[in-house]
A and B are shown apart, each in its own frame.
Chain A
Amino acid sequence: MSLFNIFEVSGSGMSAQSVRLNTTASNIANADAVSSSVDETYRARHPVFAAEMTKASASQAQNQPSSMKVAVKGIVESDKPLIKEFSPDHPMADTDGFIYKPNVNVMEEMADMISASRTYQMNTQVADVAKNLLQQTLRMGK
């Protein structure tokens, strides 16, 4: 029954969006984490999504369209250059008087956060509708 697969699909969507929300939270939380060297500075993290064909060959034999789950392939750190700032008074400043700030753009992260939460909501709605349809199907003929 295809309706059962919807739970898997929208469940994978929800977990992918929650990973995205999680990385966004890390990025915003660490947006002001100043450090004194390039290596130690926090870099913005972003998940990489990919569509995952579920049982493609099996479903093809049964003449069913394959459902596409979302897979989180991994979390990559942004290559954007860090913000180097001359601030000799700062306690974290290196010997030349520079501090390094993370390459997090808070505005981008906020937009990302709203997008992730909206998509999460959509996936919960889809699962809810699928649940209602299944319950009605089970009640049929009673």
Chain B
Amino acid sequence: MALSFDKALGIHQHTLGIRAKRAEVLSSNIANADTPNYKAQDVDFSQALKQASSKQRGVGLGATHQNHFSLQSSLQSQTKYRVPDQPDTGDGNTVDMQQEQAAFMENALEYQMSLGFLESKFMGLKKAIRGE
């Protein structure tokens, strides 16, 4: 039986990538806190995870020609605009700094958690390889 990294690492390799993407989107929100007409976005985690792990199982459609459209490339499926708590802040900006900060920190901790899971998986693999 060949050792498959995909199987050994499980879902955590995908969650890590999505959390990194989410960190990027949230950091964009924070950077654009004072930009007029900027609309805050967020990543739909469960949907992004579903997409990422469906590729692993081979259910996703592959592009066999350069002119094929990628079905999974639609931005809207992963990043969605936030529904603002206030009707309008005056300049069309929908960034709520407190909300974004909390979400960013939460996401950072979740990233660390996923990293911890991955690390323990690697430790398990190491032990298996060494035969300890």
Contact = CB atoms under 8 A, between A and B. Distances in A.
Interface of A: 1-3, 5-6, 9-10, 12-13, 16-17, 20, 49-51, 60-70, 115-116, 119, 122-123, 126, 129-130, 132-133, 136-137, 140-141
Contacts of A6: 23-24, 27
Contacts of A132: 108
Given A3-B23, A5-B24, A133-B23, A122 B73 contact: no
Number of contact residues on B: which range applies? 35 or more
Contacts of A12: 31
B30 A122 contact: yes
Given A50-B35, A63-B78, A129-B108, A10 B20 contact: no
A126 B32 CA distance: 13
B75 A65 contact: yes
A121 to B, nearest CB: 11
A67 B25 contact: yes
B54 to A, nearest CB: 12
A129 to B, nearest CB: 5
Interface in B57-108: 70, 72-73, 75, 78-79, 97, 101, 104-105, 108
Nearest to A118: B97
Contacts of A140: 115, 118-119, 122
The binding surface of chain B is classed by DSSP as helix
B112 interface: yes
The binding surface of chain A is classed by DSSP as helix
Given A2-B20, A136-B112, A13 B31 contact: yes
Contacts of A137: 16, 115
12 contacts: A2-B17, A6-B23, A9-B24, A9-B31, A13-B33, A16-B31, A50-B36, A51-B35, A63-B51, A63-B73, A67-B25, A122-B30
Nearest to A56: B75
B119 A60 contact: no
A80 B37 CA distance: 23
B15 interface: no
Q: Which of B28, B37, B97 has the most CB of A within 10 A?
A: B28
B34 A20 contact: yes
B21 interface: yes
